[in-house]
Amino acid sequence: GMVRIKLRKAKSIREKMKEAGVLDDYLKKYKHDPAKKYRFSEDY
Amino acid sequence: VVDEPITNHLDSSYFGEISIGTPPQNFLVLFDTGSSNLWVPSTYCRALPSSPSRAVNHAKFQPNESSTFTYNGQSFTLSYGRKLTWRPLPLQIQSITVTNQEFGLSENEPTQPFYYADFDGILGMGYPSLAAGGTPTALQGMLQQNQLTQPIFSFYFSRQPTYSYGGELILGGVDTQLFQGDIVWAPVTQELYWQVMLDEFAIGQSATGWCSQGCQAIVPADGAPAVPGQLRSGRGRPADQLWLNCNEVQNMPTITFVINGAQLPLYPSAYVLNNNGYCTLGIEATYLPSQNGQPLWILGDVFLKEYYTVFDTGNNRIGFATS
């Protein structure tokens, strides 16, 4: 009834986009806010 | 359907393995306490023109290879694309088996950034009321089928994470070997996200009073922490671009979160990221308020590395203990 799941830590999407040279253009195009996913205003 | 870029997962980097279907097909999923749907890519997935290789770069569920697949004719839309809902299939997470778990299959690649993700899909661990399409959450399935000893899950993030070991998700309880001292509990203030009341925030020895009118803090296990943007007025740029002198880190203050009367300090060694001698602040700014208008704080991976965190669905509370 208690299970341990090993988590892996990899490079984030941000890091990999930066390495690929596409992050700056992307962030210029889309405004990033870490709270954007928390959609309090939407009626779930 | 309007596809929105998956910017909300730009900083996600911890994930684990699950299996879906019969015979099992394996996927790496983000265990996301900020959403409540389970979805993975499928062979129906179409790459977006903006994708670097025009090909989907992840493990894909192959319905034809599962003996029990049937499309149930429904779809739901997440902020980053539409998902087709499939009739329940077995979900396996190590020794846990949920015999009937609805899940979503992407029918399109959820925008450009996802191409770069090391995980294939997302297993949402938020409250059921957050599940798009009303699909039962994986945790609901585990509890209804008596797969867990307790209605609890907890996260441990290693302070020196690697690809092979970044920490652990413990389903069904807490592991007392992963923390020390007592667990500080705080009631969930909204059964949607895992959200608690933040009483006070202190810098060094000084209480700021910034939360005198109330603050809400969300505890995600999927990204970077953030502070309300108005506290960073004048900077004019994201916190993650702030370069710091590594030699000055030791002189920076301890910041302390007060939750349910307990002081939870973060030392500069925790909130300043040192990448081969280049130091940056590991805290972002957010400009969006919580649902009641109070400033929203996000206690992300920087916080979770220091504090073993317990999510108690039975008592609707979150617990913190020194990791």
Q: What is the pLDDT of residue B169?
A: 96
Contact B157 A7 (CB under 8 A): yes
> Does B158 reach chain A within 8 Å, measured CB to CB?
yes
Higher per-residue pLDDT: B153 or A30: B153
Token look-up 């700014």 returns B285
> Does A17 reach chain B within 8 Å, measured CB to CB?
yes
* Cβ-nearest to A5 among B11, B16, B112: B16
Region B234-244: what's the mean pLDDT?
Answer: 51
Distance in Å, alpha carbon of B133 to nearest chain A alpha carbon: 9
- R_g of chain B, CA atoms, integer Å: 20
pLDDT tens string B14-59: 999 999 988 899 999 999 998 888 888 887 766 555 555 544 578 8
Query: Is residue B77 a contact partner of residue B83, using CB atoms and an 8 Å limit?
Result: yes
Q: What is the pLDDT of residue B51?
A: 54
Biggest CA pair distance of chain B: 62
Q: With 70 as the cut, is the pLDDT of residue B152 above it? A: yes
Distance in Å, alpha carbon of A39 to nearest chain B alpha carbon: 8
Quote the percentage of chain A above a pLDDT of 70. 82
Instruction: Supply A43's token pair.
Output: 């009626």
Query: Is residue B108 a contact partner of residue B82, using CB atoms and an 8 Å limit?
Result: yes
* Cβ-nearest to B116 among A4, A13, A36: A13
Residues β-bridged to residue B100:
none
CB atoms within 10 A of CB B276: 5
Q: What is the pLDDT of residue B50?
A: 55
Q: With 70 as the cut, is the pLDDT of residue B236 above it? A: no
Token look-up 């179409």 returns B46
> Does B173 reach chain A within 8 Å, measured CB to CB?
yes
Residue-averaged pLDDT of chain B: 82
Higher per-residue pLDDT: A37 or B172: B172
Query: Is residue B152 a contact partner of residue B77, using CB atoms and an 8 Å limit?
Result: no
Among residues 47-76 of chain B, which lie with CB inside 8 Å of chain A? Answer: 52
Query: Is residue B16 a contact partner of residue A8, using CB atoms and an 8 Å limit?
Result: yes
* Cβ-nearest to A10 among B118, B238, B298: B118
Q: What is the pLDDT of residue B281?
A: 83
d(CA B224, CA B87): 34
Q: What is the pLDDT of residue B110?
A: 59
> Does B151 reach chain A within 8 Å, measured CB to CB?
no
d(CA B20, CA B87): 12
Q: What is the pLDDT of residue B273?
A: 85
Region B228-253: what's the mean pLDDT?
Answer: 64
Query: Is residue B106 a contact partner of residue B114, using CB atoms and an 8 Å limit?
Result: no
Handedness of CA B162, B93, B176, B298 (dihedral sign): positive
Q: What is the pLDDT of residue B153?
A: 96
Distance in Å, alpha carbon of B169 to nearest chain A alpha carbon: 5
> Does B113 reach chain A within 8 Å, measured CB to CB?
yes
Q: What ipTM goes with this model?
A: 0.86
State the DSSP code for B20: E
Higher per-residue pLDDT: A3 or B42: A3
CB atoms within 10 A of CB A41: 8
Q: With 60 as the cut, is the pLDDT of residue B239 above it? A: no
Q: What is the pLDDT of residue A44?
A: 37
Smallest CA-to-CA distance from B126 within B260, B252, B34 is with B34
Q: With 80 as the cut, is the pLDDT of residue B108 above it? A: no
CB atoms within 10 A of CB B99: 12
* Cβ-nearest to A4 among B52, B168, B240: B168
d(CA B273, CA B32): 23
Q: What is the pLDDT of residue A7?
A: 95
Query: Is residue B6 a contact partner of residue B114, using CB atoms and an 8 Å limit?
Result: yes
Token look-up 């206690």 returns B299
Higher per-residue pLDDT: B84 or B64: B64
d(CA B305, CA A1): 25
d(CA B10, CA B298): 15
Contact B165 A6 (CB under 8 A): yes
pLDDT tens string B67-105: 766 666 666 666 555 566 666 788 999 899 998 888 887
Instruction: Supply B206's token pair.
Output: 């000084």
Lowest mean pLDDT among A17-26, B69-78, B302-311: B69-78
Order of strands, edge to edge, in the sheet holding B206-207? B206-207, B200-203, B255-259, B262-266
